[in-house]
Structure 1
Amino acid sequence: MAFKNESDAKAYWKENLSLMLKLLVVWFIVSYGFGILLVDVLNQITFFGLKLGFWFAQQGSILTFILLIFIYMRGMAKLDNKYEVHED
């Protein structure tokens, strides 16, 4: 990766870390919050015949993680293009 200048490199990594932090917070909320802390509240609701808390603990957090990977991939592609450090 070759940046035009040092300030672009710092801005790039600042935006990169910001994106990662936001996605990790979402993942934590879904996997730990919905799957463990709020399981009793969410079990009052059914989703495809399963209790919602159980669904988040078993499948929802995994599907959310996969979705977050694709969101990260798109976000990094935009960021790479913005700072002109993308690979052709």
Structure 2
Amino acid sequence: MSQERKDAAVAYWKANLRLLISLLVVWFVVSFGFGILLVEPLNAIPLGGYKLGFWFAQQGSIFTFIVLIFVYTARMNQLDRKFDVHEE
């Protein structure tokens, strides 16, 4: 494997980890932060008849996770094309 190819592989892996960590941080903030730590202040805001803190604890983290799956898929496809490791 040439040095240029090794450098590209390292750059690809770093970009992959950066994306993964950022998405996990978003999920952590929504599920733990909004659903547990900030539940009392968020409960002052109604959302469709429910308290917002309760909604984040019960539904918000799940919806966020589903959205993050699609974001991860789209961003990884972009990274794969950028580093020319995509599947045909």
Category of TM-score, reference length = shorter chain: over 0.9
In 2, Cα distance between the equivalents of 1:48 and 1:73? 31
Q: CA deviation at 1:26?
A: 0.3
Higher relative contact order (Cα pairs below 8 Å, separated by 6+ residues):
1
**TM-score of the pair, normalised by structure 2:** 0.95
Q: CA deviation at 1:27?
A: 0.3
Percent identical: 62
**TM-score of the pair, normalised by structure 1:** 0.95
Deviations 1:35-57 (A, max 9, x none): 00000000000011100000000
CA RMSD of aligned residues (A): 0.8
Query: After TM superposition, what 4+ stretches of structure 1 lie above 6 angstroms from structure 2?
Result: none
5+ residue gaps in structure 1? none
Identify the residue that residue 80 of structure 1 maps to in structure 2: 80
In 2, Cα distance between the equivalents of 1:75 and 1:53? 29
